[in-house]
C-alpha cells in the first residue's frame, strides 16, 4: 500500500516536474520536525548521541515537557509551514512523568491522525511513537524509518499536500463533491401551498404556553420561529411580550436550530428564557450545560416533536434532518404534542462512501472544498458547541491562522474547527446548512465523531448534560494505532 501510494506520488511529481522545471540536481531531503517529550524521548535521543549512533540529519527535535503538551494544531501548522513530515514522541503509556499526559495525547493524536488521513494526508507523514529514555536504538530506528518513508513520498508542498500547486489534482481525481447534494437530502416535490400541517397542534400549544409564561412573568423571553417576507422561510423569533406570542410559528420550515441563541440572550436578559426545543435543540442545550455556558435553571424547555424540516426553495427534506437520530427532545420541561416516531437512520452512510475512496481522491475532493471556503465563519457562529470568547483564528499573538485565503489556511481552519468541536459535536448539521459555499462540513465532523465512537465508545453527544466528551478523559485500556 505504501509503495503503491509512493509510486503514484512519484508519477505525479514526474508529470508536473517535466512540464515546468527541470529535475532538481540534489536529491530530495525531507524536513521533519519531531515533538519530543523532555523526560523520555528527548533523553532517549541524548542517549543515542552518547552511544554515537548514526541517523539522518533530517529530523529536528522540538522539546516539549510532555506529549500531552502537543497540540494537534502544531502538526497541522508544521505541515502548512513547510515540514514534509511530523513525528510526535512521548513516554510509553504508564511511564508519563506527569502520570496521565500521554494518555490524553494518545486519544487526541489518534483521532487527529485519522482525520488528517481522511482529508488526504499520507499516513507516513504524521507518525506517533512511544520512545523511552533508554530506547536510544528505537529512537534511531524510528528516525531512519520515518525519514525513508517520507523521502520516498517526496516533498509535501504546504499548499497542496503533494498533489500539485494550484489545481485540484490530476485528471483521474475529478472531485466527486456534488454541491447539489450537500444542502438537502433527496429532492422531493415541494409541498406548496402547505397542506394543513400536522405540526399545527404543537404550534398552537407553543403559542399558548409562550403567552402564559410571558404573562405570568415566569420567563422574560421566548425563543422560537417567526415568519419572513419569503414564503415558507422562517427566522428565529425572540418574543418578549405576551401579545406577540401569536407570531410564533412551528411548521416544516423551521430550519434554524435555536439553542445557541439562548447563550447570547442570557447575557442580555435578566429573567428565564423559554426555548422551543426539538431533538437538536435539546442535545445542544445538554452540551452547553456540560460546557457550563448555560444553567438549567435559566431555561424553560418547551419540547416539540419534529418530523424533519424542509428546504424552503425545493421542499426537499434537509440533509441534517434526514440523518437525525433524535426527532424528539431528550430533555424538556413540558412536551407540546405527541412524540414523533423515531426512525432508524444510518448517519454514517455518506462518510463510509468517502472512506472507501482512494486517499488521493479524498485529497482532491477535500482540496476542492478548501478552495471554495471563503472563511466567513458562519459554521462557527451557528455551532452550539463553539462557545469560545475569542476564536483561535482571531488570536493573533500565537498566529495560528494566517489571513491568506488559500487552500492551506482554509484547510487549517476547517480541520482545527473539527478538532475543537468534534468530540462534543451533537451532529445538528447547522454548520453545513449555514455554509454559503456548500462545504461538506458534516463529513468532517462525522469522521471525527465516528472515529471517537469506534476507538473510545464515545456514543452520541448531548444525550445528557454530563461533560463526558471523549478527549476530556482516557481509559487505561485504550487501543493504540501508532506503534
Partner 1 sequence: MSRIGVFVCHCGSNIAATVDVPAVVEAARQLPHVVFAEDNKYTCSDPGQQAIKDAIATHDLDRIVIASCSPRMHELTFRKMLKDTELNPYMLEIANIREQCSWVHKDKAAGTAKAIELLKMATAKADRDAPLFTTTIPVTKRALVIGGGIAGMQAALDIADAGYQVTIVEKEPSLGGKMVMLDKTFPTMDCSACICTPKMSEVGAHPNITVKSLSEVEQVTGYVGNFEVTLREKAKYIDYELCTGCGACETKCPAKVTSAFEQGLAQRRAVYRPFAQAVPPKPTIDPTNCRKITQGKCGLCEKLCPTGAIHYDDVDRVTRETYGAIVLAIGYQLIDWAAFYGEYGAGHYPDVITGLHFERLVNASGPTEGHILRPSDAREPKSVAIIKCVGSRDVAKGRSYCSRACCMYGAKHAHQYLDKVPDGRCFVFYMDVRTPGKGYDEFYMNTRRDGATYLRGRVSKIYEENGKLICLGEDTLLGEPVRVEVDLVVLETAMVPAPDAERLGSMLGVTRDKDLWLTEAHPKLRPVETNSAGVFLAGACQGPKDIPDSVAQASASAAKVCILFARDELESNAMIAVSDSALCNGCGACVAICPYQALTLEEVSLRENSQWSTRMISKVNPGLCQGCGACAVACRPGALDLRGFTDEQIVREVEALCQW
Choose, by CB under 8 A, the member of 165, 233, 292, 352 that binds partner 1.
292
Cβ nearer to partner 1, comparing 93 with 271: 93
Stretch that binds partner 1, among 147-155, 204-212, 381-389, 439-447 (CB under 8 A): 381-389
Q: How many CB atoms lie within 10 A of CB 269?
A: 16
Per CB under 8 A, 353 contacts partner 1: no
| Residue-by-residue DSSP string for 45-61 | HHHHHHTT----TTEEE
Q: How far is the CB of 192 from partner 1 (least distance, A)?
A: 42
Angstrom distance (rounded) from CA 213 to CA 304: 16
Q: How far is the CB of 64 from partner 1 (least distance, A)?
A: 6
Choose, by CB under 8 A, the member of 2, 11, 81, 346 that binds partner 1.
81
Cβ nearer to partner 1, comparing 395 with 479: 395
Helices (H), 217-358: 259-268, 279-290, 319-322, 349-355
Q: How far is the CB of 473 from partner 1 (least distance, A)?
A: 7
Q: How far is the CB of 255 from partner 1 (least distance, A)?
A: 27
Q: Which of residues 93-112 bind partner 1 (CB under 8 A)?
A: 97-101, 104-105, 108
Could you tell me if 28 and 58 are in contact, meaning their C-beta atoms sit under 8 angstroms apart? Answer: no
Stretch that binds partner 1, among 6-14, 38-46, 191-199, 347-355 (CB under 8 A): 38-46
Angstrom distance (rounded) from CA 471 to CA 347: 22
Choose, by CB under 8 A, the member of 77, 132, 255, 257 that binds partner 1.
77
**What does each C-alpha distance from 193 to 189, 196, 197, 379 come to in angstroms?**
11, 9, 11, 31
Per CB under 8 A, 264 contacts partner 1: no
Q: How far is the CB of 216 from partner 1 (least distance, A)?
A: 28
Angstrom distance (rounded) from CA 448 to CA 347: 13
Contacts of 28 (CB under 8 A, 6+ apart): 151, 154, 155
Helices (H), 125-237: 136-153, 179-183, 200-216
Per CB under 8 A, 52 contacts partner 1: yes
Show the CA angle centred on residue 285, arms to residues 185 and 212, nearest 5°: 100
Residue 373: φ, ψ to 5°: -60, 130
Contacts of 269 (CB under 8 A, 6+ apart): 220, 221
Choose, by CB under 8 A, the member of 1, 57, 356, 457 that binds partner 1.
57
Cβ nearer to partner 1, comparing 397 with 403: 397
**Joined grid coordinates for residue 175:** 472531485
Per CB under 8 A, 50 contacts partner 1: yes
Cβ nearer to partner 1, comparing 102 with 251: 102
Q: Which of residues 395-424 bind partner 1 (CB under 8 A)?
A: 395, 397-400, 420-421
Find the helix packing angle between 407-421 and 101-118, rounded to 10°.
Answer: 130
Contacts of 68 (CB under 8 A, 6+ apart): 90, 96, 98, 100, 101, 102, 104, 105
- Buried/exposed code over 410-437 (b: 16+ C-beta within 10 A; e: otherwise): bbbbbbbbbbbbbbbbbbbbbbbbbbee
Contacts of 189 (CB under 8 A, 6+ apart): 315
Per CB under 8 A, 92 contacts partner 1: no
The separation between the first and the last C-alpha atoms of the chain, rounded to the nearest angstrom, is 18
Cβ nearer to partner 1, comparing 23 with 57: 57
- Site size toward partner 1 (CB under 8 A) is 64
Stretch that binds partner 1, among 17-25, 79-87, 375-383, 442-450 (CB under 8 A): 79-87
Q: How far is the CB of 289 from partner 1 (least distance, A)?
A: 11
Q: Which of residues 438-467 bind partner 1 (CB under 8 A)?
A: 467
Cβ nearer to partner 1, comparing 104 with 126: 104
Taking alpha carbons only, the member of 331, 237, 352 closest to residue 279 is 331
Q: How far is the CB of 92 from partner 1 (least distance, A)?
A: 12
Per CB under 8 A, 43 contacts partner 1: yes
**What does each C-alpha distance from 116 to 68, 127, 369, 370, 458 come to in angstroms?**
19, 11, 15, 14, 20
Per CB under 8 A, 53 contacts partner 1: yes
Cβ nearer to partner 1, comparing 70 with 368: 70
Per CB under 8 A, 335 contacts partner 1: no
Q: Given the rule CB under 8 A, which residues bind partner 1? A: 31, 33, 38, 42-43, 45-46, 48-50, 52-55, 57, 60-66, 68-72, 74, 77-78, 81-83, 97-101, 104-105, 108, 140, 267, 291-293, 387-390, 392, 395, 397-400, 420-421, 467, 469, 471-473, 476
Amino acid at each position: 500500500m505504501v509503495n503503491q501510494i509512493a509510486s503514484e506520488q512519484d508519477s505525479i511529481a514526474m508529470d508536473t516536474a517535466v512540464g515546468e522545471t527541470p529535475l532538481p540536481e540534489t536529491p530530495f531531503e525531507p524536513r521533519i520536525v519531531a515533538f519530543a517529550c523532555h523526560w523520555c524521548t528527548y533523553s532517549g535521543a541524548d542517549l543515542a548521541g552518547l552511544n554515537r549512533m548514526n541517523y539522518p540529519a533530517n529530523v529536528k527535535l522540538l522539546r516539549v515537557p510532555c506529549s500531552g503538551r502537543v497540540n494537534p494544531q502544531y502538526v497541522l501548522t508544521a505541515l502548512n509551514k513547510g515540514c514534509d513530515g511530523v513525528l510526535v514522541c512521548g513516554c510509553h503509556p504508564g511511564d508519563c512523568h506527569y502520570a496521565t499526559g500521554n494518555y490524553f495525547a494518545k486519544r487526541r493524536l489518534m483521532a487527529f491522525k485519522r482525520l488528517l488521513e481522511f482529508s488526504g494526508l499520507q499516513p507516513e507523514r504524521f507518525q506517533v511513537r512511544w520512545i523511552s529514555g533508554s530506547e536510544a536504538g528505537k529512537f534511531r530506528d524510528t528516525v531512519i524509518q520515518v525519514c525513508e518513508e517520507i523521502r520516498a513520498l517526496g516533498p509535501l508542498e504546504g499548499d497542496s499536500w503533494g498533489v500539485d500547486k494550484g489545481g485540484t489534482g490530476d485528471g483521474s481525481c475529478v472531485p466527486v463533491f456534488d454541491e447539489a447534494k450537500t444542502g438537502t437530502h433527496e429532492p422531493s416535490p415541494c409541498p406548496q401551498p402547505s397542506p394543513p400541517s400536522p405540526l399545527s397542534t404543537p404550534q398552537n400549544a407553543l403559542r399558548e404556553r409562550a403567552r402564559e409564561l410571558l404573562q405570568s412573568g415566569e420567563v422574560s423571553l421566548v425563543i422560537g420561529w417567526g415568519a419572513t417576507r419569503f414564503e415558507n422561510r422562517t427566522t428565529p423569533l425572540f418574543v418578549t411580550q405576551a401579545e406577540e406570542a401569536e407570531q410564533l410559528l412551528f411548521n416544516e420550515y423551521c430550519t434554524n436550530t435555536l439553542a445557541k441563541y439562548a447563550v447570547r440572550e442570557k447575557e442580555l436578559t435578566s429573567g428565564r428564557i423559554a426555548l422551543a426545543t426539538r431533538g437538536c435543540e435539546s442535545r445542544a442545550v445538554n452540551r452547553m450545560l456540560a460546557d457550563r455556558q448555560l444553567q438549567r435553571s435559566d431555561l424553560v424547555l418547551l419540547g416539540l416533536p419534529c418530523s424533519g424540516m424542509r428546504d424552503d426553495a425545493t421542499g426537499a427534506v434537509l440533509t441534517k434532518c434526514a440523518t437525525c437520530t433524535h426527532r424528539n427532545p431528550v430533555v424538556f420541561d413540558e412536551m407540546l404534542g405527541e412524540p414523533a416516531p423515531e426512525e432508524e437512520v444510518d448517519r454514517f452512510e455518506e462518510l463510509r462512501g468517502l472512506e472507501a475512496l482512494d486517499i488521493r481522491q479524498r485529497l482532491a475532493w477535500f482540496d476542492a472544498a478548501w478552495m471554495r471556503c471563503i472563511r466567513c465563519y458562519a459554521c462557527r457562529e451557528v455551532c452550539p458547541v463553539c462557545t469560545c470568547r475569542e476564536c483561535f483564528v482571531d488570536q493573533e499573538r500565537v498566529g495560528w491562522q494566517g489571513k491568506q485565503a488559500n487552500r492551506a489556511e482554509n484547510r487549517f481552519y476547517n480541520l482545527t474547527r473539527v478538532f475543537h468541536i468534534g468530540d462534543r459535536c451533537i451532529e445538528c448539521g447547522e454548520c453545513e446548512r449555514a455554509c454559503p459555499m456548500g462545504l461538506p462540513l458534516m463529513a468532517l465532523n462525522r469522521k471525527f465523531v465516528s472515529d471517537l465512537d469506534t476507538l473510545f465508545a464515545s456514543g452520541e453527544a448531548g444525550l445528557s448534560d454530563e461533560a463526558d466528551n471523549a478527549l476530556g478523559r482516557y481509559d487505561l485500556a485504550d487501543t493504540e494505532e501508532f506503534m
